[in-house]
Structure 1
Amino acid sequence: MSIVRTTPSSGVSFLVAAGILWGTGGLFGRMLGDATGLSAAAVATYRLAVGGLLLVAYLLVKGAPLPRSRTAWARIAAVGALAALFQVAYFTAVSFTSVSVATLVTIGSSPVLVLIARPRSADRRGLVAVGLALCGLVLLVGVPADGGPSAGAVVAGAAFALVAAAGFTVMSLLGARPVPSLDAMTTTGIGFTVGGALLAPLAVTTSGLAFAPTPTAFGLLLAFGLVPTAVAYTCYFRGLRTAAAGVGVLMALLEPVTSAVLSAVLLGDRLGASGIAGGLLLCGALVLTAGVPRRAAPGQRGERTS
């Protein structure tokens, strides 16, 4: 047995790592869909299932014990259901509107939902950070162009994006309340495996789950399940042990920043002046947020692992 010390500053570091790794998700998801012809629902299903199963396999090889308490299994089931809700609601929002609108509403509303859920935790610095984040997100992601989706489609897409944001927010609030004897890797691995199983029937009704078994497809599937899913979410839940949920959802803003940079470098997309300004505002919000980590509760400063 060994003890890993988790301090507030290390918690923020884990959240930063999660946000950056999430930024690769859009790129891997897009490439996987193009290579296999899978629908958005099927891609989301594979993301959760592969990421979860990779972690479960690691835990089995490591010989980690399964959770035994009802509280632990209830948390795992909740994480799986919320992850499935978040994924399917987000991609449904994308189908009604666009990636930019769905991302803007989902990620932009999450910090606001945290403030609504925990108004007493809000201070002037946090409110300034949320304001900068929302302005930066609008500039970075952009607004819908003329000739885009109809007003009805935008409203429907925004509604599903709010559902996605609510799922992510509740998952973050739960993650900020650790369950004794349940670590981040077990929560993510078993929870996401459950989430993938919940999404599988929906994926079958769209494109199905079958695809041509090429080396490229398998490589993308493995990378998609490992980097922005298994590793990123393990870092996220680990970081939430000593950093407030509001810090966590704001650190998620690193995802569109990283995604925009990768798209510019690898896909040739141009950020433009507004995109660069938005990225700088988001970075400013993240700097403000990183300076106010949550105090660790007594007995939660160390995480025991085997």
Structure 2
Amino acid sequence: MKASRGYAMVLCAALMWGSIGIFVNSLAAMGLSSVSIAGLRLLSGAILLMPVLMVMGARGVRTPAGEKRSAFSLFKAMPRTLLACFLVGVVGLAMANLFYYISMGEVGMSTASVLLYTSPVFGVALGKILYGEAVTGAKLLSVLLNITGCVLAVTNGDLTKVTFSVLGVGSGILAGFLGALLAVFSKMATERMHPLAVTFYGFVFGGLVMGALSFPWIDVRAAVSPQMIGLLLAFGLIPTALAYIFYMNGLSMGVEASKVPVVASFETVATVLVGILLYAEDSGPVKVLGICLVLLSIFVMNMSAEKLRQSSLAAHLAEAIRFNGHEWRQEKMADYNALANSGDWQTWIAPR
């Protein structure tokens, strides 16, 4: 049950991540570059989380018995834990974003998005190697459904938009791999530290790296306005601080690292729906099919084979497979003839 709540939290985080495009489009229209936006997102998220952690520390959250409460108690970390937080921020957040942007620049957004959704494949492999998580038929089926659904939802079935470049393809696949590592490093860090503290340090390390690469202060100074500040704060709050609070808390609830990328891919569904509802992007049966496949992959990933065999869905499916139309017609005709021979014409005509 605890793991189920964890997956539900990851799903909530993915739903919030689906709103990223709204903020990115608005900030880009004000003159900020994609890399600058990514750096400012993480840093603003860290700024918003800091007072929350201080209040929690002052109230004694995770303070050992007999130890004095302190507003900075949740910020304390052993070097090993801090290293895991560093990997969360630099590898799982900053580098994953950087390679994703490189891929977009080389092969376009559609192709880069498709390559990014190789993340569940790496998630299953890393879960097996690092945590000994079983590679089941349900997981493999879920990954196949997930990738197919993401590709259809993003491209709308038009694969002619998919382009090739060694650098672009390599960067996109690497972004997917680093995205899977985010779940692994986050799971390691949350085992030793409060999830919100892990999120804070991840934002700080990732934001500083992205800031050093993009130096966004020039863009901000040229376009600063009350509207921009409000957007940055909302960007740092909704799809950043709140989303990662749900994500990190979910990872601390005994979930399997191999399953997290599949559940988190619900972000694709949310992003596509935002594009359709707010930006009048094309919709059609292929996109709907892709969304349904992503949802089905999440269901399959979190349904054990034993539960699936015992479910009413499996029973109905087995019944449908065994169904014989000829025998059914013969059986119904025999019933009707028996009713007709009974002499009760009202009883006979009712089922007809």
- TM beyond 0.5: yes
Q: How does 1:1-306 map onto structure 2 within 5 Å?
A: 7-34=2-29, 36-62=30-56, 63-65=71-73, 66-82=75-91, 83-106=93-116, 108-119=117-128, 121-142=134-155, 146=160, 151-152=164-165, 155-204=166-215, 208-241=219-252, 242-291=254-303
Q: Which amino acid aligns with 2:108?
A: S
Spell out, residue by residue over 1:213-233, the C-alpha distance to the aligned partner (whole angstroms, 9 max, x if none): 223212221121111111112
Structure 1 residues 57, 105: CA separation in 2 closer, same or farther (over 3 Å shift)? same
The letter of the residue matching 1:186 is A
Give the Å deviation of 1:109. Answer: 0.8
Give SS of 1:246's match: coil
Q: Larger RCO: Structure 1 or Structure 2 (Cα < 8 Å, ≥ 6 residues apart)?
A: 1
Distance 1:264 1:141, change over 3 A: same
The structure having more radius of gyration, on CA atoms, is: 2
One-letter code of the match for 1:57? P
Q: Which residue in the other structure is 1:295 paired with?
A: none
CA distance in 2, matches of 1:43, 1:214: 15
Q: Tell me which moved more, 118-127 or 238-247.
A: 118-127
In the alignment, is the contact (CA less than 8 A) between 2:184 and 2:257 conserved in 1? yes
- Alpha-carbon separation, structure 1, partners of 2:229 and 2:138: 45
State the shift of 1:84 in Å: 0.8
| Distance in 2 between residues matched to 1:168 and 1:156, nearest whole Å | 18
Q: Indicate if the aligned counterparts of 1:38 and 1:211 stay in contact, CA closer than 8 A.
A: no
For the 8 Å contact 2:31–2:223, the answer to whether it is kept is no
Question: Counterpart amino acid of 1:129?
Answer: S
**Quick one: structure 1 residues 237 and 24, their matched pair in 2 at CA, closer, same or farther if it must change by over 3 Å?**
same
**1:44 counterpart letter in structure 2:** A
Q: Give the Cα separation in 1 of the matches to 2:275 and 2:210.
A: 28
Q: Deviations over 1:104-158 (max 9, x none)?
A: 111x211111222244521011111111111111110116765x68643xx3222
C-alpha deviation, 1:57, in angstroms = 2.9
Contact 2:125–2:258 (Cα < 8 Å) also in 1: no
Question: Compared with structure 1, are the counterparts of its residues 9 and 205 closer, same or farther at alpha carbon in structure 2 (3 Å cutoff)?
Answer: closer
Distance 1:211 1:61, change over 3 A: farther
- 2:27 match: secondary structure: helix
Residues in 2 aligned to 1:19 and 1:187: alpha-carbon distance in whole angstroms: 18
Deviation at 1:210, TM superposition (A): 3.0
Structure 2 unmatched runs, 5+: 57-70, 305-352
3-state SS in 2 of match to 1:156: helix
Q: Which moved more, 1:259-268 or 1:216-225?
A: 216-225
Q: Distance in 2 between matches of 1:254 and 1:92?
A: 23
Kindly tell me the number of residue pairs found equivalent between the two proteins.
282
Residues 28-61 of structure 1 deviation map (CA, whole Å, 9 limit, x = unaligned): 1122111x21111101111111112211232124
Question: RMSD over aligned Cα, in angstroms?
Answer: 2.2
Does the CA-based 8 Å contact 2:276-2:282 persist in structure 1? yes
Percent of residue pairs identical: 25
Structure 2 CA distance for aligned equivalents of residues 259 and 284 of structure 1: 17
The answer on whether the counterparts of 2:77 and 2:193 sit within 8 Å (CA) in structure 1 is: no
| Structure with the largest fraction of helix | 2
Q: Which runs of 5+ in 1 are unaligned?
A: 1-5, 293-306
Query: What per-residue deviation string (whole Å, max 9, x for no partner) do you get for residues 242-301 of structure 1?
Result: 211122101121111001111111111122111111001111111122335xxxxxxxxx
User: Is the contact made by 1:39 and 1:206 (CA closer than 8 Å) also made in structure 2?
Assistant: no
SS in 2 for 1:92: helix
